[in-house]
Amino acid sequence: AVVSTQSGHYGRGFKRTLSILSLFSSQGLLTMKFLSVYLLALISITVSGQATSFQNKVEDLKRAFSAVLDDTSRELAGLTARLEDMEAERAELDRAHAWQALHMAAAAACRGSTASGGTGPWGNAVLAKENTRSCNQVCGATVFTSCDADVSIGGYTGRATSYTLRLGHFYNYGCDTPGNTDVKFDEVKAGGDDVFKDISSGNWFYRFCCCRKP
């Protein structure tokens, strides 16, 4: 239908041109100069129409491209936000695993420090030691009222590279006294990333109470 309409349009324009040329010819006005001017005007009108059509198409393409850019920008913003969330989740998981590894080391230290080996009718407990209280006091405030040991443990990051390199440290202050009251040895009062610190920042130990339910 579009082609037919355009063909009809061009056909009518061609007939109109012939009519005009015939009129000027019959009046003796059709000269080469006039014909040249007339044809140039006709070509100019045609080219102008095509240029306008081309410009409209360019504008359409610009709008379409702009819409694609907007959609892409939104998608990239969403992806960036998701990646940031994943990085935060990964960092939180690393912290949780680091504290878990420390707790398992504390449980092993308690197992080795307990004279009975940790026997009894109940599962024994490892509790974080408050820096200002003795383990007798910490254990006594729970159902695991008997203290078997106060263990202070710490370790260094990285793989061992020699047999003389110090990898960690431990100490047993006993159940009766608070011992060293440095707040850096108190896990409850520590920051989330403090588990990654070591002696270089003064974090020698974390202290734990080995408690048993009698």
**pLDDT at 29 > cutoff 80:** no
Task: Name which of 182, 188, 206 is nearest 196 in CA terms.
Answer: 206
Q: For position 97, what pLDDT does the model report?
A: 92
> Residue 155 CA to chain centroid, in angstroms?
30
CA atoms of 106 and 127, how far apart (whole Å): 9
Q: For position 30, what pLDDT does the model report?
A: 47
The alpha-carbon radius of gyration of the chain (Å, integer) is 44
**Residues forming beta bridges with residue 150, ordered by sequence position:** 209
Q: Which amino acid is at 14?
A: F
189-206 confidence digits (pLDDT tens): 999 888 888 877 778 889
Q: For position 7, what pLDDT does the model report?
A: 46
> Among all chains, which residue has been given the structure tokens 């009894």?
120
Q: For position 6, what pLDDT does the model report?
A: 45
Q: How confident is the model at residue 128 (pLDDT cuts 50, 70, 90)?
A: very high
CA atoms of 53 and 72, how far apart (whole Å): 29
Choose between 23 and 181: higher pLDDT.
181
Q: Name the maximum alpha-carbon separation found in the chain.
A: 132
Q: How many CB atoms lie within 10 A of CB 193?
A: 11
Task: Name which of 105, 192, 86, 108 is nearest 156 in CA terms.
Answer: 105
| In the chain, % of residues over pLDDT 70 | 73
Region for 19 from its dihedrals, namely left if φ exceeds 0, alpha if ψ lies in -120 to 50, beta otherwise: alpha
Q: Which amino acid is at 185?
A: F
